[in-house]
Amino acid sequence: MEGSPRKVGYTSSARWKHVQEIIEEIEGPLRELPKALLTPDAAERLPRRVTDGLWRLRHAALSGGLTTSAIRLRAWPILLSTYVHSSEVAAQTAAAARRGVGAGIGIGAELRDEQQVAKDVARCLWEANGRVLGDHERESKRAALTDVLLTAIAALGEDKVYYYQGLHDVGAGLVVGLPETRKSTMTGMTPACAAMVALLSARLAPYCTQGLEVTLAAMDKVMELVGAAAPALHAYLTNAGVPAVFCMPWLLSLFAHNIDDSEVVFRLWDACFATHPAFVLYLAATLVIDAEDELMALGDDMASLHHRLSHLLADGRLSQASVDGVILRALQLAHAFPPRELLADTDTFPHAFTAWPERWAGSPPAHLTELGALQAEMPPPLRAMRPASGTRAAMVVVGLTTIAAIVASWFLQSE
């Protein structure tokens, strides 16, 4: 994944100002709250202004994205509820810091996964918008990435979190997207460290367990979604014997391993961080469904189909012009087959992955719930929303943002 995010060309100053105002409405009250309220069991006592603002921020992140690094630096910690997750692991973090982990001095000697972390971090080449970084800057990034990974693992406890290859891709994205190196007075960690703790506590919880049982179940759920929305494609892939393992790196790295353009990755993360932890499964299924015609033209050779699926994102299929369309179609898929139904038949996944809304967030405000009345204006069904090509793709970008705002409202209020 390439380096620092860029402002998307079609972003308006009015939208930027609107999102900034939402963040300011949330940040002020959060700073004034006693730490006793920043815990999962205190949700009912949080000011309505905080919970309303959080839902409005989620809506903005889904319907058009957060667009700039400055906004994401403030919005991602809020969307990920890092204040809550961090309050739960404060004692472990302090203990880790006393052992020299997370203090910016390199790998702690007492961590089980330190050697594998060191190998994966050393492989990070660190490019910034196509420019290979100099030795000093590269080593600085690697040190920050090591700090993020080991601090989060130590804080949550090695008995609960197992490092896996691909997690370093997520950490690298957080180091770029949340570059602030000062520790927050609320979390006691840098924003990137706190975000990693939150991700490992919920959205990445299925993949950091010992063994592959939960990861395999997540991949099966991706194919289950494909079967629900595109039964002919699902039957075609099943009859050809194509395993679901092709989507494993998408899930483990939240797409960061497979997409070079950091702005595309961060746009996907805007959506993933704003909604149900299982939304990444819907994004993965949507990418497969979008490629239906291409896949079915390959014949029934399992090797050819698996190779194409494994390299589906290698050809720049997801770009800054097309990513909003993919998010829109994933939202439609989630509206048609909600996470509560998708995950209802299994107890394999951790509770933090299946629970929604976030434990401390409260219910959606009335103005979002009321938008469900716009259902009569629902865009064409998922199967009719194939990606546009050529000049058509550029023409639909602004329209997609408006449509996504409506679909996002339904999805938020339906969960």
Check residues 44 and 394 and name the one with the higher pLDDT: 44
**Mean pLDDT of the region 276-299:** 95
Express each pLDDT in 183-198 by its tens digit: 877 777 899 999 999 9
Q: What pLDDT does residue 349 have? A: 92
Residue 383 scores a pLDDT above 60: no
Express each pLDDT in 334-375 by its tens digit: 999 999 899 988 889 988 888 776 555 555 655 554 443 333
**Mean pLDDT of the region 93-99:** 51
Give the residue among 64, 60, 73, 74 at the shortest CA–CA distance from 27.
74
State what percent of residues in the chain have pLDDT above 70.
Answer: 71
**Mean pLDDT of the region 47-74:** 87
Q: Residue 379 corresponds to which tokens in the numbers above?
A: 């865009």
Check residues 9 and 387 and name the one with the higher pLDDT: 387
Least-confidence region, from 125-139, 191-205, 262-276: 125-139
Distance CA(190)–CA(334), nearest Å, equals 33
CA 25 to mean position of chain CA atoms? 23
**Mean pLDDT of the region 39-52:** 69
Q: What pLDDT does residue 13 have? A: 78
Task: Give the pLDDT band of residue 215 (cuts 50, 70, 90).
Answer: very high
Domains of the chain with bracketed CATH: 13-201 (1.10.8.1310), 213-414 (1.10.472.80)
**Mean pLDDT of the region 120-135:** 75
Burial 38-54 (b: 16+ CB within 10 A, else e): beeebbeebeeebbbbb
Q: Are 247 and 222 a contacting pair, CB within 8 Å?
A: yes
Of the spans 1-15, 20-34, 156-170, which averages the highest pLDDT?
156-170
**Mean pLDDT of the region 19-47:** 74
Dihedral sign, Cα of residue 106, residue 109, residue 114, residue 119: positive
Q: What pLDDT does residue 384 have? A: 40
